Structure 1
């Protein structure tokens, strides 16, 4: 565990005295996703340095984290971020491998390309080809991958879109950052022309390209994603891919809190086709919803980074972070347990949200069995069975302790993942 969350100077000084036998991983930011990535790498002996703009994240006290410290937040000062990360890299004997756990950190590394740091994902142009939704949906059209009916506002105009799409529909950005700065969210549902024009005007003020998209008649409980690692062309490795179903969310249409491995060949086929066409390499999550009207899955989005439930594919035998690390570092090998016979059954639960759904939603029925709960309480789930968790691990209790003590105060953390 990292005994101290250092400021940048302190982190550089501590790392100058550190003795690693292999390149460490830089995991940023250091919250729920960060602790899962750290655990996945630490299980294979990879040293982990957690980076964040604050000490409030849950990853630093984990036994999987060797050092933790502050760097400039890339959205506040990209040049400052690059300079801090380069100082961290200069203090190390080996070039570290960067794992960015939120979009702003992905862009921070991809845009600034800090010297002396290995990036196990595509360059900025490669990332943009995936994150730009206008480009993503154009690829879907070319490849025959189902996606919601979508129109770029600047290309088609408000009049044409209002005549074509039925209200309510959703407005989303081609690129998240500028839209989020304007509205504080990634998706806005509009009920009439006036609301639509208001959103378009606000986006225009922030120079954000926006898309109007049909509101898909989704079937609850069938949201499905492909968790994958696409290797670079230089690697002798097939893509690693595991399909997960977000069986339970909290709130009902919020973030995933119970994800199960499932077999959905069309999701796997369509997601891999899009990723291969973009040329993107790295970890990603391709998000699909089940359209009850079309009776098929449609692609909504691709996230070019680890995400909250990445421990599920790891438990299924596909350690995506370790595969990325192995391809970034000469002489390191990793063969997925899932490579031969396919992924194992696995379920992931984020207990804080799952318990809240059970306690607050009278219509929801607990889908975990008594044996599941016994396994969680006893800690047996870490040694047997198909269940894994987001934070809670009896063998590594400090992140859960930090979460609980944080809940007893009015302290807030800026990131949900």
Structure 2
């Protein structure tokens, strides 16, 4: 457990006096996803250093985190971020391995390539080929992978877009973070031309490139993603991949709060085909929805990083963070524990959002059984054979959940939902 979230100077001083027996992981940022990545790595005795721009994240008090500290936020000062990370790396005996849990941290590491830090994912050009949705959809068109009808605003005029797409349609960013900083969300639905032009104008003020996209007639409850780790070409191994269904969201069209492993060969094939074409290697999540009009899964997005329910593939026997670490560090080993050549069944639940859905949505019916709740409340789920796992809440590692609860009581807010 990291007893203190140090400022950068204090973190460098503390690490100068530590002798890790292997390269530690730098996990940034240090919130819901960060604590899950830390636990996945700590399960294999990898030391973890949690980094963030604030001390409000849930990861630092986890037993999986050895040290925690503040660094310059890459969107505020990219050179400052690189300098901070290089100072941290220089204080360590072994070159650390970076795990970036949000797009801005991915780009921060990829753009600056800090000296003394191992990056277990593609160089910036490879990341850009995936994160730029305009490029991603162009690849889908070339490869025959279904995707929603989409137009880049600017490359295509407003008049042409309004004529091509029926209202309502959605506006989303080519790159998430600038848009999210401006609007507080990654997707905006517009009902008429006036609303569309207002979003486009505000996005232009924030230098955010936006796309106009058809509103897919998606079947509720069938949102599906491929969670994968694609090794570098030099590793000469197959990707490690698990398909997850976001069976429950909160709100109904919000963030995933219950995800279960499923078999969807088309999702797996299409996602891996796109990733192979981009040349990207590393951890990623490829997001699909089931389009009832096309009667097919359509690709919406690919995140080149760990994400909120990263613990589900870990529970299924595919520890994606550890696989990435093993490829980045000479002598480190990891073997996925799969069943008959494939992943085990697994379910992941994020209790705060799931309970809110149960308590506030009269049309929603709890899909967890009494036995599931007993397993969760007793803590037996941590060693159960049905592979039920959670986000944040773990009786064996209670401090992150305690920090969440005390934060709710104090009405404090954290800037990142993941």
TM over 0.5: yes
How far the C-alpha of 1:407 sits from its partner, in A, is 1.3
Q: 2:186, 2:397 → 1: CA distance?
A: 34
How far the C-alpha of 1:415 sits from its partner, in A, is 1.0
Residue 255 of structure 1 aligns with which residue? Answer: 255
Q: For residues 18 and 339 of structure 1, do their structure 2 counterparts lie closer, same or farther at Cα, with a shift above 3 Å needed? A: farther
CA RMSD of aligned residues (A): 1.1
- Matching of residue 132 in structure 1 with residue 135 in structure 2: no
Residue 184 of structure 1 aligns with which residue? Answer: 184
How far the C-alpha of 1:339 sits from its partner, in A, is 7.6
Residue 337 of structure 1 aligns with which residue? Answer: 337
Residue 291 of structure 2 aligns with which residue? Answer: 291
Q: 1:85, 1:339 → 2: CA distance?
A: 39
Q: 1:199, 1:371 → 2: CA distance?
A: 47
Q: 1:153, 1:19 → 2: CA distance?
A: 52
Q: For residues 339 and 231 of structure 1, do their structure 2 counterparts lie closer, same or farther at Cα, with a shift above 3 Å needed? A: farther
Residue 105 of structure 1 aligns with which residue? Answer: 105
How far the C-alpha of 1:341 sits from its partner, in A, is 2.2
Q: 2:289, 2:255 → 1: CA distance?
A: 14
- Matching of residue 234 in structure 1 with residue 234 in structure 2: yes
How far the C-alpha of 1:292 sits from its partner, in A, is 1.0
Q: 2:53, 2:316 → 1: CA distance?
A: 32
SS, match of residue 363 in structure 1? coil
How far the C-alpha of 1:340 sits from its partner, in A, is 5.2
Q: 2:274, 2:199 → 1: CA distance?
A: 29
SS, match of residue 155 in structure 2? helix
Residue 398 of structure 1 aligns with which residue? Answer: 399
Answer with 276-285 or 187-196: which moved more. Answer: 187-196
How far the C-alpha of 1:184 sits from its partner, in A, is 2.9
Answer with 209-218 or 173-182: which moved more. Answer: 173-182
- Matching of residue 348 in structure 1 with residue 332 in structure 2: no
Answer with 34-43 or 67-76: which moved more. Answer: 67-76
Q: 1:291, 1:331 → 2: CA distance?
A: 45
Q: For residues 336 and 14 of structure 1, do their structure 2 counterparts lie closer, same or farther at Cα, with a shift above 3 Å needed? A: same
- Matching of residue 359 in structure 1 with residue 359 in structure 2: yes
Q: 1:129, 1:291 → 2: CA distance?
A: 25
Equivalent residues in 2 for 1:168-247, closer than 5 Å: 168-247=168-247
Which sections of structure 2, spanning at least 5 residues, go unmatched?
none
- Matching of residue 408 in structure 1 with residue 370 in structure 2: no
How far the C-alpha of 1:196 sits from its partner, in A, is 1.4
Q: 2:25, 2:13 → 1: CA distance?
A: 17
SS, match of residue 234 in structure 1? helix
SS, match of residue 245 in structure 2? strand
Q: 1:41, 1:14 → 2: CA distance?
A: 21
Q: 1:238, 1:58 → 2: CA distance?
A: 33
Residue 121 of structure 1 aligns with which residue? Answer: 121
How far the C-alpha of 1:311 sits from its partner, in A, is 0.1
Equivalent residues in 2 for 1:359-378, closer than 5 Å: 359-378=359-378
Answer with 332-341 or 237-246: which moved more. Answer: 332-341
Alpha carbons 1:240, 1:339 under 8 Å: kept: no
